Amino acid sequence: MSTTTHRRKAFTIVELLVVIAIIGILVALLMPAIGAARESARRVECINRLKQLAVATELFHGAYGALPPARLLARPDDKNQCGGSEATWLIRLLPFMEEGKVFSEWDVYRPWSEHSEAARNPAISAFLCPSRRTLDRARVERQVPVPGTTVTVRSSCGCTFTFSSNGSFNTITGMAADYAANHGDLSPGASGKPTDFYYGGNGTGTIITSRPICREGRPAGWADKISHKKIKDGMSKTFLLGERHVPSIRLQKFPQDPPAFDGDYLEGFARLAGPGVPLAFGPQDYIASPLAFGSYHPGIVNFALADCSVQSLSTDTSTRVLEQYSHRSNGSQATTAVRAW
- In the chain, domain spans: 49-340
pLDDT in tens, 289-336: 999 999 999 999 999 999 999 999 999 999 999 999 999 998 776 655
Identify the sign of the CA torsion 333, 210, 292, 65: negative
C-alpha dist (Å) from residue 159 to 85, 117, 182: 11, 22, 16
What per-residue confidence (pLDDT) applies to 11? 63
What per-residue confidence (pLDDT) applies to 224? 97
| Residue from 113, 67, 49 nearest 265 by CA | 113
The answer to whether the CB of 240 falls within 8 A of the CB of 231 is no
What per-residue confidence (pLDDT) applies to 165? 56
User: Model-level pTM?
Assistant: 0.85
- 148 φ/ψ angles, rounded to the nearest 5 degrees: 90, 0
The answer to whether the CB of 196 falls within 8 A of the CB of 46 is no
pLDDT in tens, 85-100: 999 999 999 999 999 9
What whole-number distance in Å separates Cα of residue 113 and Cα of residue 120?
Answer: 8
Could you tell me what percent of the chain has a pLDDT over 90?
73
Strands (E), 78-166: 139-145, 150-154, 160-164
pLDDT in tens, 15-74: 778 878 888 887 777 676 666 668 889 999 999 999 999 999 999 999 999 999 999 999
The mean pLDDT value for 114-127 works out to 96
What per-residue confidence (pLDDT) applies to 64? 97
What per-residue confidence (pLDDT) applies to 258? 95
What per-residue confidence (pLDDT) applies to 31? 72
Using the predicted structure, report yes or no on whether residue 3 has a pLDDT greater than 60. no
Using the predicted structure, report yes or no on whether residue 2 has a pLDDT greater than 60. no
